[in-house]
Amino acid sequence: MMKDMMQQLRDTAISAILKAENVESLEAMRIKYLGKKGELTAILKQMGSLSPEERPVMGQIANKLRSDIEEALDQRRKDLEAVRMALKLESETVDVTMPGKDVREGHKHPMYNVLDQIKDIFIGMGFEIVDGPEVELSKYNFTMLNIDESHPSREWTDTFYFKDDSSICLRTQTSPMQVRTMLTRDVPIRMIAPGRVYRKDEVDATHSPMFHQIEGMVIDKGITMADLKATLNLVVEKLYGEGTVTRFRPHHFPFTEPSCEMDIRCHKCGGKGCPTCKGEGWIEILGAGMVHPKVLAGCGIDPDVYSGWAFGMGLERLAMGEYKITDLRLIFENDVRFLEQF
């Protein structure tokens, strides 16, 4: 009786296994026939009803059956694998006579060309390039730069904050790098700090919620406005050519006193007025000034002993001028048709 059942199981199982079409159905069969709740186990459960003489005989038959089924499973697995491999080899044949794929080489983004030029100029004058976080303490971005709580640039409508108490923000300018540098380095300091800054501005031809600035700062004994003017004049001559004329207009920034903005005479029209300078004859390049004594003192530098100057300029604006681009969006869109022209 039990012997017949085992014989039948042997016939159906082995022929089914040898016809299995894939590894998944093969595994299903292993479970069906040999699993804990499988057919062989079910038959073996009846061992208890056999006589002591029959039991070892049936046991032996059962063991043989199990190993035969396992062998069939193994055999079929190998066959299926061989078929799979043959198909794979066939589908992946390489025609070595096919022409190769063209590798398109990229190049530096035009704005970074301008940044590298500026870095080179400042490195040549002994400046250090420093880097800092874009997620910044409001304390460094505003408070320690003498920008008090009531200043409009601190509004939620202008600045991206991370916390309800507005203590952490996306930096709105690279000027917090002035504070960070003064807090971590010994005087004298000569640094520039390029990087991304963020403001809640809608995207249009001249605005973007993310843009780049370059901050610069010098702190030493006896530094004056004359140093600021001489250094920045030299920088624009290197950038725009010898004899580039500059003009310094009084301005206001909370963290410098006195403060100014620097324009260059339009390098396109020589000052007559053209589309590049929007008919003004001058192009505004940067904001600058003498570091406010309060800012120095707040960073642990004695304003009676040391003085310094600082500037901040917009990198996109500079690149747009250099490459005669009138729409800021082109700089960020990463359209290769635009980028490959530079």
Among 256, 264, 265, 277, binds ligand DAH (CB under 6 A): 256
- What gap in Å lies between CA 169 and CA 139, rounded to an integer? 10
Q: Could you give the dihedral angle defined by the CA atoms of residues 234, 240, 246 and 249, in that order, rounded to the nearest 10 degrees?
A: -100
Q: Is 198 one of the binding residues for ligand DAH (CB under 6 A)?
A: no
Q: Establish if 215 lies at the interface with ligand DAH (CB under 6 A).
A: yes
126 to 165: interface string for ligand DAH, x by CB under 6 A:
----------------------------------------
CA–CA gap between residue 194 and residue 251 (Å, rounded): 22
| Ordered DSSP codes for 163-225 | STT--EEE-SSSTHHHHHHHHHSPSSEEEEEEEEEE-----BTTB-SEEEEEEEEEEETT--H
Interaction between residue 195 and ligand DAH (CB under 6 A): no
Whichever of 110 and 287 has its CB closer to ligand DAH, that residue is: 287
Q: Among 210, 228, 211, which residue's Cα sits nearest to residue 219?
A: 228
Q: Which of 289, 298, 308, 321 binds ligand DAH (CB under 6 A)?
A: 289
Closest approach of Cβ 114 to ligand DAH, in Å? 18
Q: CB 259 → ligand DAH: shortest distance, Å?
A: 6
Q: Which residue has the tokens 């600021």?
A: 228
Structure tokens at 128: 């250090």
Q: Is 176 in the site for ligand DAH (CB under 6 A)?
A: no
> Residue from 173, 208, 231, 307 that binds ligand DAH (CB under 6 A)?
173
Q: Is 211 in the site for ligand DAH (CB under 6 A)?
A: no
Q: Select the span of 130-138, 238-246, 307-315, 317-325 touching ligand DAH (CB under 6 A).
A: 307-315
Q: DSSP of 231-250, one letter per residue?
A: HHHHHHHHHH-TT--EEEEE
Q: Rule CB under 6 A: choose which of 253, 267, 298, 319 binds ligand DAH.
A: 253
Q: Is residue 316 within a helix (H) or strand (E), and if so which, with residue range? A: helix 315-323
For 221, residues 6+ apart whose C-beta sits below 8 A from its C-beta are: 188, 305, 306, 307
Cβ 255 vs Cβ 310: under 8 Å: yes
Question: Rounded to the nearest whole angstrom, what is the least distance from the CB of residue 299 to ligand DAH in the complex?
Answer: 14
Classify each residue of 192-214 as buried b or exposed e, where b means 16 or more C-beta atoms within 10 Å of its C-beta.
bbbbebbbeeeeeeeebeebbbb
Please, are residues 181 and 217 in contact by the beta-carbon 8 Å criterion?
Answer: yes
Shortest gap between Cβ of 229 and ligand DAH (angstroms)? 13
CB 238 → ligand DAH: shortest distance, Å? 20
* Shortest spacing between CB 236 and ligand DAH, in angstroms: 16
Residue nearest to ligand DAH (CB): 312
- Does 312 help bind ligand DAH (rule: CB under 6 A)? yes
Binding site for ligand DAH (CB under 6 A): 173, 175, 215, 253, 256, 259, 287-289, 310-312
